[in-house]
Structure 1
Amino acid sequence: MAVVHASFAQRVDTIHQEWVQDDIGLLKTLEAIDKNDPAAMEKFFLQFDRAKERDTLGFGWTVFSQGKGAGYISVHADFYHYKGKIVSYQLHSRAPSRKELMEQYKTMFAKLLPIDSNGFYYYMFNEAAILKPLATYNGSNKQISTDLLALMSPTSGTTYGIGGGMPPSMLPNRKAFNALKDKLSNDDVITLMYAINPATRLMAFEFYRRNRNRFSNQGEIEAWMIKVYKEKPTIETLSGCFVFHERVEKLVNQFYMLNMKEY
């Protein structure tokens, strides 16, 4: 029995207080940076960057993403640039999965990441800058709905596809698109084609390809599709557990043929 108890004791997962202190240190460092100074915030994350390229969203937009881990948590940042200038950024993190730490970390996050959505903490600087269509959009003057704007934003996810992983799960942007697609007017679809988010543009093209007869301005739409394909020729996608880049025209041709009712 003594051997059994000793073995069990060795397997008990205790709280590592040094990890908690590391997390406190990271959050205090970030709290000391003026959140209204996006260049200063980006400078902090740039010191951990090893990538030589930024992901282009097309039409003058790029995104720089980086994270910094500590003990139990990591804080991630996405900086959105337009024509080389930071116009918006978001910080996001998750509390540890350990129940006994959740309330403590909620308090720790309160100043830096005050908004809590199902355990997801985040902060957005100048969100209005990315909640709009591309500058080339010249569509209807009617107000764009909140749901459409959220899908058009790069924060909805810029990976284009259906889903993947183990266990398989649908991409958040695909789930959001599927929730809207049966209610989309022709004007809505064309508006989505001018999203800052390249994945949203491609999902709108899929919809058009499946419902081409609904649209009277096919020539204009297809000319825009060619411009979009040239502007960002490849995009990140998923196949099972594999993440890779593929040509956008090939992917649209592939996905618009699928029976989306299966997803």
Structure 2
Amino acid sequence: MKDTLFISQVTNAYNTSTKNLFEILEVDDDELEKLGYDYYLRTGSNGKGYISFEYKILYFKNEIIAYELLVNIPSESRKTKNLYKEKLSKLFDINDNFKVKPIKLGIEKAFKSLKSKMDIPIEIEKIMSPFIGITYGGYCGFAGRLLPNREVFNKVVNASNCQFLLYSINPASRIMAIEYFYCNRSSFNSAQIIEIEKRIIEIEKQVPLTRTCSGCMYGKDLTKEIVKKLKKCE
């Protein structure tokens, strides 16, 4: 009953306005994550019964410009799953395997470049967005799993597209691009090296702290100290 009522409230709010939607989900702006360049990220969830609506919201200054909304159907009996599917289908697209397709609004604003009139290669669009994760690291957590953003980065980055990532809204992608640059410096010409090194100095000033993960520890480190280590390609 709690889930049914809450799903209806969220659906009605979504169909009314973004403001109403986030009021129902009780989103506040007290825990915004600074991304630099006047961009902020808010992540969280809200639920009343057995399900929770998960959200990721991108702000530019004080304005919401993009968001993702997702819910997962509980691992119950097929009959119960069908009941959830019936209610949630008024809001989400759900396939026969009860996989819910996230709602994504304004998503193109999440992977745009910080530099105007820069055409982003399609293969790095996903890693440009902060919605993929803003933690810089590798294998993290108790299970020692590779961070999703690192996994995508490793598959798509090369000397031709690395420089674009220095203008990403995602701060972790900017740092990973710096890492790639220092570990593959010979792949860049002298003009590129000068431009990239100037950009790195600007990034250090704009975002003094970077969210990091090492082993099981999550925290924030000084961006300047991270870059200092990366210069040695550590």
Q: What residue number does 2:185 align with?
A: 212
* 2:143 is aligned with 1:194: no
Q: Is the 8 A contact 2:14 2:21 kept in 1?
A: yes
Q: Match of 2:162, SS?
A: helix
Of 150-159 and 30-39, more deviation after overlay is shown by 30-39
What's the offset of the Cα at 1:206? 0.5
Give the 3-state SS of the residue equivalent to 2:177 in structure 1.
helix
Over 3 Å counting, the alpha-carbon distance change for 1:219 and 1:137 in structure 2 is farther
Task: Report the secondary structure of 1:64's partner residue.
Answer: strand
What whole-Å deviation, never above 9, does each CA across 1:6-57 have from its counterpart, x for those lacking one? xxxxxxxxxxxxxxx2222221111011357323323333x364x7341111
**Take 1:235 and 1:118, find their aligned partners in 2: how far apart are those partners?**
37
Question: Is 1:179 equivalent to 2:155 in the alignment?
Answer: yes
Per the alignment, do residues 104 and 242 of structure 1 end up closer, same or farther by CA in structure 2, a change over 3 Å counting? farther
Paired with 1:156 and 1:193, the residues of 2 have a C-alpha distance of 16
Q: Give the TM-score of the pair, scaled to structure 1.
A: 0.77
Shift of 1:137: 4.6
DSSP-derived class of the 1:132 partner: coil
Report what 1:8 is aligned to. Answer: none
Determine if contact 1:137/1:194 at 8 Å carries over to the other structure.
no
State the match for 2:42 in structure 1: 64
The reply to whether residue 163 of structure 1 matches residue 139 of structure 2 is yes
Matched, 1:238 2:216: no
Secondary structure of 1:155's aligned partner: helix
User: Cα 1:40–1:48, aligned 2, differ >3 Å: closer, same or farther?
Assistant: closer
Partner of 2:121: 145
Asked if 2 retains the 8 angstrom alpha-carbon contact of 1:88 and 1:125, the reply is: yes
In 1, Cα distance between equivalents of 2:108 and 2:135: 22
Count the aligned residue pairs: 229
Is this contact kept in 2: 1:75–1:92, CA < 8 A?
A: yes
Aligned equivalents of 2:77 and 2:141: distance in 1? 26
Once the two structures are TM-superposed, the CA of residue 251 in structure 1 deviates from its matched residue by 3.1
Q: Return the letter of the residue paired with 2:87.
A: M
1:74 counterpart = 2:49: no
Contact 2:58 2:65 (8 Å CA) reproduced: yes
Question: Aligned partners of 1:251 and 1:105: how far apart in 2?
Answer: 46
Which AA in structure 2 matches 1:72? Y
Shift of 1:118: 8.3
Give the secondary-structure state (helix, strand or coil) at the position aligned to 2:13: coil
Partner of 1:225: 200
**Bigger mean CA deviation after superposition, 206-215 or 105-114:** 105-114
Pair 99,251 (structure 1): closer, same or farther in 2 beyond 3 Å: farther
2:7 equivalent to 1:24: no
Q: Give the letter for the 2:20 counterpart.
A: A
Correspondence 1:39 to 2:15 = no
Aligned counterparts of 1:126 and 1:115: Cα–Cα separation in 2 = 21
Which whole-Å CA distance do the structure 2 matches of 1:118 and 1:209 have between them?
A: 44
Gaps of 5+ in 2: none
Root-mean-square deviation (CA, aligned residues, Å) is: 2.5
Give me the whole-angstrom Cα distance separating, in 2, the residues matched to 1:227 and 1:23.
47
Separation in structure 2 between the aligned mates of residue 257 and residue 35 of structure 1, nearest angstrom: 50
1:155 maps to a residue whose letter is: F
The answer for unaligned runs of 5 or more in structure 1 is 1-20, 259-263
Structure 1 position 169, deviation (Å): 0.6
Q: Distance in 2 between matches of 1:209 and 1:238?
A: 20
Q: Distance in 2 between matches of 1:59 and 1:198?
A: 10
The residue identity in structure 1 corresponding to 2:171 is: P
Partners of 1:173 and 1:24 in 2: how far apart? 34
Whether 1:52 aligns to 2:30 is: yes
In structure 2, the partner of 1:154 is 130
- Taking structure 2 as the reference length, what is the TM-score of the superposition? 0.86
Contact 2:85 2:98 in 1 (8 A): no
